[in-house]
């Protein structure tokens, strides 16, 4: 896909948390899955991915780095939503 940083999949979903609608679009990265997340509030969009490390459990992180705490919270909300969906 010319001009795009990530390949996108048509899997899109939205849910509400803490009075904010969170809209997610799945992104396919080499070897992992990430989500492009937008908010109904004034918060800037974020890309989150679950990163695996050798000496610690997998953790949600932002791409690019810098919004780690937010990525962890959003990632957990995505996991909850997907678990309920199954």
* Cβ atoms of residues 55 and 68 within 8 Å: no
Q: How much is the average pLDDT of 55-69?
A: 89
- How far is residue 24's CA from residue 85's CA, in Å, rounded to a whole number? 14
Give the count of beta carbons closer than 10 Å to the beta carbon of residue 68. 13
Q: What is the pLDDT of residues 33-51, one digit of tens each?
A: 899 999 999 999 999 998 8
Instruction: Give the pTM.
Output: 0.81
Query: Average per-residue pLDDT in the chain?
Result: 85
- How far is residue 24's CA from residue 15's CA, in Å, rounded to a whole number? 9
20: β partners? 17
Sign of CA dihedral 10, 27, 69, 78: positive
């Amino acid at each position: 896909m010319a001009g795009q940083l990530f390949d996108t999949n048509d899997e899109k979903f939205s849910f509400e948390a803490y009075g904010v609608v969170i809209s997610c679009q799945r992104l396919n990265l080499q070897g992992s899955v990430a989500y492009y997340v937008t908010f109904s509030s004034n918060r800037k969009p974020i890309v989150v991915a679950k990163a695996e490390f050798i000496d610690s459990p997998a953790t949600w992180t932002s791409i690019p780095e810098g919004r780690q705490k937010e990525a962890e919270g959003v990632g957990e909300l995505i996991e909850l939503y997907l678990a309920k969906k199954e």
